[in-house]
Amino acid sequence: MTEPALPAGPAPAPSSGPHRDDEGAGRFAPSPSGDLHLGNLRTALLAWLFARTTGRRFLLRVEDLDRVRPGAEDRQLADLRSLGLDWDGPVSRQSQRRAGYDEAIDRLDAAGLVYECFCTRKEILRAPSAPHAPDGAYPGTCRDLTAAERTERRAVRSDPALRLRAGAAGFTVTDVLHGEYTGMVDDLVLRRGDGTPAYNLAVVVDDAAQGIDQVVRGDDLLSSAPRQAYLATLLGLPVPEYAHVPLALGPQGKRLAKRDGAVTLADLADASGTAATPEATAAWALSTIAVSLRLAEPGEPVAVEMLRDRFSPAALPLEPWVYPPA
């Protein structure tokens, strides 16, 4: 079930940089909470390859609404450049785009599709209906509170979150690698109690405003795509083409992380000793990632232009990449 879109709001702001109006764009959108590891760099390379081989621009957006570690953004950009990746126009930052999120929430609110939620995470998990809600969906505790009940709850919690009053339980998207995928839609958070715009809202607004029509990201976010596509449809925004690529896992079968040892370029250089230059470390990382994607043979010299010539989504491995290999 799909609700009709809201009346059109202001036109999305154009992204920076010269481009054709019909060109479209892909993107990589890291959070500056730490250094990029090999799995992040692998996803960035794939996003670049998908965009560059389909004639799209490639944009970089820093998702800095939440955790920000000083210096992380600069190191992330340096690591991407060291692999040979480039992007079009200046880097955008979510912290500078709050007006667009507020406008989207205002439009939803004017249509009666926003309500205050006073629940804590613990209360949601303990709610009587929670076990019956699919895949951890919000059970609707605050959806139909009366005015008196809302006033009573504000006396206890003066900073409620704002949730979407969804009119569908599920939504279907099409993914380049996974085909049609139907996932849950619930009353997702639009703005947290501390005033921070929620990820699911921000990413939808940003992608539309920047002309992004191709989203390549880790397949751990596949289940988020139906929510985001549904929200985009409500706002009258285009739904992008999705490609959710396999994650990099550590040796214990969990998402690759610092606990798995030398997984960032800086750590890899340190582990290799003084003989490893930053350039040599980046070349080794690019080669290792290319081999994992079946775009190069072990020991073969690699450059991103060569990988672009060889790239085909149909030939990508769909299983997770385990690093370091056993």
According to DSSP, the β-strands at 321-322 and 214-218 are unpaired
Consult the annotation and say whether 258 binds a ligand: yes
**CA 62-204-13 angle, 5° bins:** 75
Question: Of 190, 138, 185, nearest to 166 (Cα)?
Answer: 185
Consult the annotation and say whether 27 binds a ligand: yes
- Cα distance between the two ends of the chain: 46
φ, ψ (nearest 5 deg) of residue 156: -95, -40
Question: Of 108, 131, 56, 117, nearest to 87 (Cα)?
Answer: 56
Residue 325: count of CB within 10 angstroms of its CB? 9
Catalytic residue positions? 258
Consult the annotation and say whether 29 binds a ligand: yes
Cis, bond preceding 324 (omega within 30 deg of 0): yes
Consult the annotation and say whether 208 binds a ligand: no
φ, ψ (nearest 5 deg) of residue 195: 90, -5
Consult the annotation and say whether 28 binds a ligand: yes
Consult the annotation and say whether 314 binds a ligand: no
Consult the annotation and say whether 224 binds a ligand: no
Question: Of 30, 31, 10, 14, nearest to 22 (Cα)?
Answer: 14
Consult the annotation and say whether 142 binds a ligand: yes
Consult the annotation and say whether 31 binds a ligand: yes
- Binding positions for Zn(2+): 117, 119, 138, 142
- Binding positions for ATP: 258
- Binding positions: 27-31, 63, 117, 119, 138, 142, 199, 217, 258
